[in-house]
Amino acid sequence: MTLSAKNLHWSAGGATILSDVSLDVRPGEFLGIIGPNGSGKTSLMSLISGIRKPQAGAVLLDGRPLSDHGRQAIARRIAFVEQQAETTERITARQAVELGRTPYLGALTPWSRADDAIVDRALEEVDMAHFAGRLWHTLSGGERQRLHIARALAQQSPTLLLDEPTNHLDIGHQISLLQLVREQELTVVAALHDLNHAAMFCDRIAVMQGGRIVALGTPAKVLEPQRLLEVFGVTVDVERDGAGGCFIRYRRPEPRPPRLKLVASEGK
């Protein structure tokens, strides 16, 4: 299965949000998308998942534009975990995961033992089996996030799009979740904020800035102090371990000159 974006343009509310974005997702890779808030990560992922349609350009699934595939056919190949998805319905944790089976169930297809087994496995994989019966509104943010991931796993699509999957998770669950996703034989595209996680888990990283992809390559190539300064405005040291891995160490910014304080006291 191949998935690629060709010269995507997307604008909303009168502003151009993505311009000329092209991206080939390689089968089986873990592709990270990093970039500051508002750089267009979520927008790009919703175009790739087919939820939004580009104004120009196309997303190609197996060489054909997404719009040629039916919604259900897309859902069987691409699962998408949104950055935020909430509900006020009194559903249980397990029911939230069961929704992942939707693309395989027609109006008259009965729920089967196999579906149950898939849901059980997904719950176990995110370490939420013991909470299966809990109501959604009683769960913590991190627990909800893990259930969203479990739903995507239950969807059994070969491609997983994750928009900030580690949101709300404690560090232990952040790492185990990324490891879990990495271990699956899946193609993964994930928007990440933690650069060290991106360095640890990604095969390639795309850097977004102002609605464009400004760099694309292996972590060691992409995560350069100069680029991170330009894109994120932070000063970093990058340590390389010699085996292609790297670690980011953030430097504390110099204290600001006391200009603001002076202005404030003068104004009094």
Partner 1 sequence: MISDRPILLRTGAAFAALLLLLFALGVGAAVGETAIPLDVVAKTVANRLWHAGYPLEPIDEGIIWNYRLSRAMVAACCGSALALCGVILQSLLRNALADPYILGISAGASTGAVSVAILGIGAGALTLPAGAFLGALVAFGLVSALALRAGRGTSAIILAGIAGSQLFNALTSFIVTKAASAEQARGIMFWLLGNLSGVRWPDVWLALPVAILGLLVCLWHARALDAFTFGTESAASLGIPVRRVYVVLIAISALMTATMVSIVGSIGFVGLVIPHAARMVVGVRHGLLLPASALIGAIFMIAADVLSRVIIPGQVLPIGVITALFGAPAFALILSQRRSVL
Ligand X SMILES: Nc1ncnc2c1ncn2[C@@H]1O[C@H](COP(=O)(O)OP(=O)(O)OP(=O)(O)O)[C@@H](O)[C@H]1O
Applying CB under 6 A, the residues found at the interface with ligand X are 12-13, 15, 17, 35, 37-43, 83
By a kind-dependent CB cut-off of 5 to 8 A, residue 17 interacts, out of ligand X, partner 1, Mg ion, none, with: ligand X
CB-wise, 138 or 179, nearer to partner 1? 138
Span 58-97, contacts to Mg ion by CB under 5 A: 83
The minimum distance between CB 87 and partner 1, in angstroms, equals 5
- CB-based contacts of 42: which residues, under 8 Å, 6+ apart? 83, 163, 191
Q: Is 10 in the site for partner 1 (CB under 8 A)?
A: no
- Residue 56 has, within 13 A of its CA and on its CB side, a CA count of 9
Is 45 or 228 the residue whose CB approaches partner 1 more closely?
45
Dihedral sign, Cα of residue 109, residue 60, residue 178, residue 36: negative
Asked if 95 interacts with partner 1 (CB under 8 A), we say yes
Residue 42 binds to Mg ion (criterion: CB under 5 A): yes
Of the residues 12, 56, 85, 117, which one makes contact with partner 1 according to CB under 8 A: 85
CA-based nearest residue to 249, from 210, 199, 206, 189:
199
What is the residue type of 27?
P
Task: Please state the closest distance from residue 135 (CB atom) to ligand X, in A.
Answer: 28
Residue 35 binds what, of Mg ion, ligand X, partner 1, none (CB under 5 to 8 Å, by partner type)? ligand X
Distance CA 177, CA 183 (A): 10
By the rule CB under 8 A, 121 interacts with partner 1: no
User: Is there binding between residue 49 and Mg ion (CB under 5 A)?
Assistant: no
Cα–Cα distance for residue pair 80/205, rounded to 1 Å: 19
Quote the CA–CA distance of 187 and 159 in Å, as a whole number.
Answer: 5
Of residues 42 and 174, the one with the C-beta less far from ligand X: 42
- In the shown chain, the binding pattern of residues 38 to 57 toward partner 1, with x for contact by CB under 8 A and - for none, equals --------x--xxx------
Buried/exposed 44-60: b ≥16 CB within 10 Å, e otherwise: bbbbbbbebebeebbbb
* Binding footprint of Mg ion on the chain (CB under 5 A): 41-42, 83
